[in-house]
Chains A and B, each alone.
Chain A
């Protein structure tokens, strides 16, 4: 009997659906991952940025000590750190989509790598700053 997957006669379609298609895994085992991540980070960004907008307005006209106390408060530092992670992931995926749409070949690949490095650097620098401000605020509390 002929193998159901055999279409070597040139006109019959393979009769058996591959297991990966049934399980929806696709060839690379992912595909909707970025779509879903982009929407979850969008939701997180929406909530966190609205909260942090009030902090940004409250920062206006503050002295250094007052500014460190506000940003270094756990109630601000933790949402801020979460926002940085979510925003940088959202930025990385968003720019990646634009690069994939408009730049192809080696130039595109180079830009994709630079984009991932850029997002990691921006996120890393921002998290470093938040941790340092948090420690500065804590050391003031300890000194008091």
Chain B
């Protein structure tokens, strides 16, 4: 009996697999969904920095001075800006998912919601760090 499961010699063919990320043209909702996961993982690194800062403050004046020098270094500042962005991106992504969880925003606006996650995260990060720089200068 002919079967789609068997090849000409009667051996088993590999089972068909559902198409995955590799063959789709990226669309914004899909990319933002992946970014939500990536930024969630990035936030772990940021959390470790925050906990290290708290432990340094708890340990006393010397270690706090070391932490302040560490967090004042420009390279660490770049990491902190990246962490700020990933935290805000993840938070805005969470708001978007909450809207969808409540059953709203599945129409054409769904792509705008996804774009707003990206645009909002960049805008708020720039505004926050501009505020921090201004506060440090004055």
Contact = CB atoms under 8 A, between A and B. Distances in A.
B58 A129 contact: yes
Contact of B47 (A53, A60, A64, A122): A122
B131 A57 contact: yes
A16 to B, nearest CB: 33
Interface string B18-30: 0000000000000
Contacts of B57: 64, 67-68, 71, 129, 133
A62 B131 CA distance: 17
Contacts of A126: 50-51, 54-55
A130 B58 CA distance: 7
A125 B50 CA distance: 11
A91 interface: yes
A60 B51 contact: no
Contacts of B128: 53, 57
B91 A49 contact: yes
A12 B60 CA distance: 73
A98 interface: yes
Chain A interface main SS type: helix
Given A49-B91, A94-B40, A95-B44, A128 B58 contact: yes
B101 interface: yes
Contacts of A43: 98
B13 to A, nearest CB: 23
B55 A91 contact: no
9 contacts: A39-B101, A42-B94, A57-B132, A64-B61, A91-B43, A126-B54, A130-B54, A132-B58, A133-B58
The 8 closest A-B pairs by CB, nearest first: A129-B54, A129-B58, A132-B58, A64-B61, A126-B51, A129-B55, A64-B64, A42-B94
